[in-house]
Amino acid sequence: MKDFNNKVVLVTGGSRGIGRAIALEFASRGADVVITYAGNEAAAVETIKLLTDAGAKAQAKRFDVSDSAACSAFIDEAMREHGRIDVLVNNAGVAIDGLLMRFKDDDWDKTLDTNLKGAFSLMRAVSRPMMKAKGGAIVNVSSIVGEMGNGGQAAYAASKAGLIGLTKAVAKELSSRNIRVNAVTPGFITTDMTAALNDELKTKMADAIPLGRIGNPEEVAKAVAFLASDAASYITGEVLKVNGGMYM
């Protein structure tokens, strides 16, 4: 299915993990893909190779999504270079864990600035070209933790819950211009972000998931591409759980 032929898709944090799988899913469906990353150049280069091997036109751009001027510059550059932006996926994120009593201001700021302000800055910047084009789709990658909370993840939970509210507000604001804004809330997915957890904890978590296993990035990618596709043409402001039934 080449339903994204001639479409331009931007995926923040598209160099690794869930973002890489999202970029590859859109590429397999015909899109030109621009991935972004913060610092791990080797991973970005590897992803570009995978995307071009899949037959896609692909580019990687490095900037920090918590820098709002850099977000605006990225959108302007993408418009100059591609002439259109059909889909924005706000996937870049960090998880800094720690108990409330000991949590540092800097870690709070970094988590909120990356996970929430980054998505805000990019949506604000992309809204202009999408409004001019009278169409577009935005998908924000939130988390199950934003829906159910998790001890030791106060900042992460706040950022991801905030992203759900932001998604719904922007969905209402941009709907009259045929711009759809949705979110996915992945559960426990195998990536670098979760690799650090020990095996005992992983087994315990898998046991708590009705489908009995940890998810993979491709399963999140398919949900993201669905929300961005014409198959979801009457869906906006929605939050799609991709969690194996862990939270219903």
The least CB distance from residue 5 to ligand NAP, in Å, is: 26
What gap in Å lies between CA 242 and CA 185, rounded to an integer?
6
Give backbone dihedrals phi and psi of 218, rounded to 5 degrees, phi first: -65, -30
Greatest alpha-carbon pair distance for the chain in Å reads 52
Binding site for ligand NAP (CB under 6 A): 12-13, 15-19, 36-40, 43, 64-66, 91-95, 114, 141, 143, 186, 188-189, 191-194
The least CB distance from residue 34 to ligand NAP, in Å, is: 13
Q: Which is nearer to ligand NAP, 131 or 226 (CB)?
A: 226
Q: Which is nearer to ligand NAP, 136 or 186 (CB)?
A: 186
Whether the CA torsion 98, 185, 59, 112 is positive or negative: it is: negative
N-terminal to C-terminal alpha carbon distance within the chain:
31
CB 51 within 8 A of CB 130: no
Q: By C-alpha distance, which of 71, 103, 219 is closest to 241?
A: 219
Give backbone dihedrals phi and psi of 65, rounded to 5 degrees, phi first: -65, -15
- Please pick, among 37, 156, 234, 247, the residue that the annotation labels catalytic: 156
Task: Please indicate whether residue 247 is annotated as part of the active site.
Answer: no
The least CB distance from residue 177 to ligand NAP, in Å, is: 26
Give backbone dihedrals phi and psi of 15, rounded to 5 degrees, phi first: -85, -20
The least CB distance from residue 7 to ligand NAP, in Å, is: 21
Q: Which is nearer to ligand NAP, 39 or 151 (CB)?
A: 39
Give backbone dihedrals phi and psi of 163, rounded to 5 degrees, phi first: -65, -30
Q: Which is nearer to ligand NAP, 127 or 185 (CB)?
A: 185
The set of catalytic residues is: 156
